[in-house]
Amino acid sequence: MKHLLGLLIIIILGFTSCEGRKTQSQALSESIAEFKKTVTFETNIYIPENYLEHQVDTLMSNGFRVKIKTYSDMSKDVLFSNIKDTINYQTHYRNFKFDIRVEKEGQLIFEESFDKQKANKLFGYRDDFVSDSPFYNFDKLAILQSIQVDDEPSLKNKVLIDVMYAIPETNRTALHTLFVNDNGTINMVHVTQN
């Protein structure tokens, strides 16, 4: 009887020790895999990081004076996300506002401020473009890349202002020219888009 009881205990110990427990290496690997699935870290990057303002005051040979002020819109940006390993890199490209003031021989003839919404309307960026349109998503994703006065000496009664919008992290750009005549009327022409 003692031998039978001893044999029974050995069989029970044998079966319980073979229950398929994980090794420490397997448990660590599974724990890391589970951690990667459930936890992500976010890194927020803002471009530009701080408030940025730039002013240009141009006196042209045809009697026009053009003042352009561009400044970052600290409350509105375009977000691009890129997940690498367990880190979600979120890059916020700030929109820019711009003010244009045009004088002719000391008299104010045009003055207007533009934010993203007003620029979308001026340049014809809408949310109903099809995906193969050159201006697809420009209403949401494009930001001001540059704005400058085009000092064309042959123009006597107009001011030309070149404005470029681009979608960050792509090669998609759109160049427009604004014409301000000596009556203060503004017109826009699409020059190129990529």
d(CA 187, CA 21): 76
Q: With a cut of 50, which residues of the chain have pLDDT below it?
A: none
pLDDT of residue 32: 76
Q: How far is 46 from 164, CA to CA, in rounded Å?
A: 21
pLDDT in tens, 66-114: 999 999 999 999 999 988 877 889 999 999 999 999 999 889 999 999 9
How confident is the model at residue 121, as a pLDDT?
93
CA separation for the pair 93, 72 (Å, rounded) = 10
- Residue 98 CA to residue 56 CA, distance in Å, equals 11
Query: Containing H/E element for 31?
Result: helix 24-38
pTM of the model: 0.76
The per-residue pLDDT for 182 is 87
Q: What is the pLDDT of residue 28?
A: 78
